[in-house]
Amino acid sequence: MNISGRTEVYGIIGNPVTHSRSPALHNAAFAATGLDKVYVPLPALDGAAAVAAIRALGIAGASVTIPHKETVIPELDSVDPVAAKIGAVNTIVRRGDQLHGANTDWLGANQALGEALELAGARVLLLGAGGSARAIGFGLLEAGAMVTLASRTPAKGQELARQLGCPWRPLAQAAKQPADALVNATSVGMGPMADQSPVAAAALANFPVVMDIVYSPLDTRLLREAAAAGCRCIDGLAMLLYQGAAQFTMWTGQEAPVEVMRQQLSAP
């Protein structure tokens, strides 16, 4: 990689970002297409300050991850209608001196889950009440799935369910009801909770397909126990790949080199 004064800088803002596979993903894509761009981790404790830094430093675009997907919105010059409806931004695009917000999480989730089942008419139990759950829930409902939301925090989960227009159930109760797929959009399974699963192993037989958006670690306890229960498992790299490909196209106007990006994510 030959970095010069003309190299455009992209990055990922969030806390933490040390585990992120996005730099490797996007740098492989930039290299494969011969673009003079580089993508770096940008750890940020404050979402508003991070957006101000993007402005001041002339950063060309950014991914946004936990916990800033919602807090960056007031700091942007514009937000596309889908991201506004979702209420979360995971992509910042520079347009001249303006910063525009978008969301590709729902695209990535739909494409990843859609490889395992027909989304229209599918019954999906979605775990979580944060920005990722909001985006995934929106996307699934747009695709015609029947979504039930479950979360550890009743108030936040019930509010998100109201906004999405879908039912909410307490997590322990919801996991007892069979569905076509279960999607974990919580942080359970990563970091300090890496040895935990959001669902009891005994309940996983209720779900033929189990998808976990956590990708660090890749082999989460949820997916290990789901595989043991005979479920078809979708790990977090599938959603990362497809949402990242959509980001690449937003930033460059070019079709993403999906196979190159897939190979990069598959590399040890």
Catalytic residues: 69
Give me the residue label for tokens 């979605």: 126
Q: 148 forms bridges with which residues in the sheet?
A: 125
* Residues 150, 151, 152: CA angle, nearest 5 degrees: 145
* Residues 243, 49, 4: CA angle, nearest 5 degrees: 65
Amino acid at 32: A
Amino acid at 230: G
Cβ atoms within 10 Å, residue 52: 12
Q: Where are the alpha helices (DSSP H) in the chain?
A: 22-32, 47-57, 81-86, 105-114, 131-142, 154-164, 171-174, 221-228, 236-252, 258-266
